[in-house]
Chain A
Amino acid sequence: MKVRSAQLLLSAVCLVFGVLLMVQFRTQGKIAKQLVAESSADQAQIIANLYDANVALRKEVDRLERQVRENDETSGAARAAQLAADLQKVRIVNGSVPAVGPGVELSVDAEIRPEDIQDLINELRNAGAEALALNGQRLTVRSAVTSDHGAVVVNNRKLIAPYVFSAVGAPDTLERALTRKGGLVSYLQTTYPEGRFSVSRSDKLTLPVAETTSAFQLAVPDNKTG
């Protein structure tokens, strides 16, 4: 009896220690994250971004609802027109048709790294670029930026400075994103003080069709609708 209660006590003690040790460890483990947790300013930024994203999503919902309605109401000819318009839009996104429109050109006369080019493309997409080209080559989602003996390679072609990014989209938004203080371009300017960075707006940019928009070899659609 005595022995059993002692064993029980010891088990209880061990259990409590175990739990405490675990909690202690977990707390320590999370420290890394807490040190870089979201500040109030970050939260405000996230709220602003989410708000904008939701506005865009709501527009897409409205557009799709209209499209479904039109599809129900219209005749064959109108449906054909709708299909064609839809197809053209998706092809612009894919880079499988040339794209024309207003936008900005960013010229970078500096020996920047492939990573910097990647980041600039990301920045332009983030600013809402609808179609992109770099040194006259259309960029698609699958365009990789790599390097070959120090040279920047995009779509399997070596590029040389100056790097000229052509982005079709809202010129104001694009220009603001590229020229803002503390933005990527100003950061790169600091990193490459000798480099020459310039942003210019254009009423009409013409981007060529992408050289490679190969069909999928391995990926198959889950279903036919989408």
Chain B
Amino acid sequence: MSAPVVAPGATIDAHLGRLGHALRGPRRGFDLRIRRGTLGLTLLAVILGVYLAAQWQSRPRPVGAAPEYRREVAAQTIERLEAEQADLKRQIADLRAQLGARQAATAAQPDLAELSAELDEAKLLAGTVAVHGPGIRVLLDDSAVRTIPPKDDPAMYIVHDYQLRDVVNALWAAGAEAISINGERIVAPTSIYCVGSTILVNDTRTSPAYEFLVVGDPARLDAALADSANLKALKGRVKSYGLQFSTQRLKDVSVPAYVGGLDVRHALGVDAPSTRGGAR
């Protein structure tokens, strides 16, 4: 597919040079000018034609009208479900804020103050509260390479779900306290998986570039990601296929709250000895 692009480009340069000469040239007779003008226009039309044709050919060919239509319908369904998902998340955020306000009021009751404070602390750790603090911003994006050599596997040039998991794992290992990927907070029930080439985080579709916002010790996090012993596979792809991976230390990073259910229907908690009737 790269051949038609390069070849006309080369010819065009040559033509352009010649056209430039004609235009810049010394005064000529009237007839000659018209002839040259027509010639120039003709050349221009030919070149444009070639270009348009090249453009046309490089467009992906639809497999057939019917599958294309089905894909369109499916894409619309996905959009509708995503709009619904965004709306439900807004409702959850709103309800959690309402409940939080009420529970804060409850905390004014002396007998409930301790319980309420413990709940606040637990929610903070669980990730249902937005946090900020020092940290880093990590960017991971598909390769910037324009054309893939025919022998190469295109999958090597794009970011995969396991690479996001590897980065998250390396960040936790380096003492990260809060992480989000493209606005999705990483919490205990979070899974990062792919369907085809689409990566889902918290069952929400994401697309490159992937932006990690991380609260933690900036120097330690940055050093861990830079350490050649970590993320070897990912760094190999960066080197060989041009995946884009960069970090930036920040004085203050805001990591959003998790907006989804914390589904606990089967597990029962066993009271840890220290939780109630504390020593205070």
Contacts and interface: CB of A to CB of B under 8 A. Distances in A.
B189 A93 contact: yes
Contact of B272 (A39, A119, A209): A209
A222 B268 contact: no
A191 interface: no
A168 B270 CA distance: 14
Counting contact residues on chain B (CB < 8 A from A), the size range is: 35 or more
A83 B124 contact: no
Contacts of A6: 23-24
A9 B23 contact: yes
A27 interface: yes
Interface string A54-69: 1011111101110110
A146 B165 contact: no
Interface residues of A, number: 110
B103 interface: yes
A51 B203 CA distance: 10
A40 interface: yes
Contacts of A9: 23, 40
B55 A24 contact: yes
A29 B270 contact: no
B200 interface: yes
B98 A68 contact: yes
A115 B232 CA distance: 12
B100 A225 contact: yes
A72 B102 contact: yes
A49 B195 contact: yes
Contacts of A32: 142-143, 145, 148, 154, 157-158
Contacts of B203: 49-50, 52-53, 56
Contacts of B16: 13, 17
A107 interface: no
Contacts of B173: 144, 146
Contacts of A37: 196-197
B154 A35 contact: yes
A119 B260 contact: no
Query: Most A CB atoms within 10 A — which of B187, B195, B200?
Result: B195
A98 B267 CA distance: 9
A141 B55 contact: no
B236 interface: no
A93 B264 contact: yes
Contacts of A71: 99, 102-103, 106
A49 B198 CA distance: 12
A20 B91 CA distance: 46
Nearest to B230: A146
Nearest to B13: A17
B11 interface: no
B177 A80 contact: no
A136 interface: no
Given A54-B88, A209-B272, A27 B55 contact: yes
Contacts of B134: 218
Given A90-B122, A131-B267, A169-B267, A218 B135 contact: yes
A36 interface: yes
B192 interface: yes
A161 B15 CA distance: 70
Query: Most A CB atoms within 10 A — which of B59, B143, B172, B254?
Result: B172
Interface of B: 1-2, 5, 9, 12, 16, 19-20, 23-24, 40, 44, 48, 51-52, 54-55, 58-60, 67, 70-71, 74-75, 77-78, 81-82, 84-85, 88-89, 91-92, 95-104, 106, 109, 111-112, 115-116, 118-135, 142-148, 154-155, 157-158, 162, 165-166, 169-170, 172-173, 176-178, 186-193, 195-198, 200, 203-205, 215-217, 254-255, 257, 260-272, 275
12 contacts: A9-B40, A28-B5, A29-B146, A33-B197, A38-B196, A50-B205, A86-B119, A91-B122, A94-B122, A125-B191, A128-B263, A130-B266
For the complex of A and B, list the 8 residue pairs with the smallest distance between their C-beta atoms, beginning with the closest.
A225-B100, A42-B196, A53-B203, A60-B261, A126-B191, A144-B173, A226-B129, A64-B95
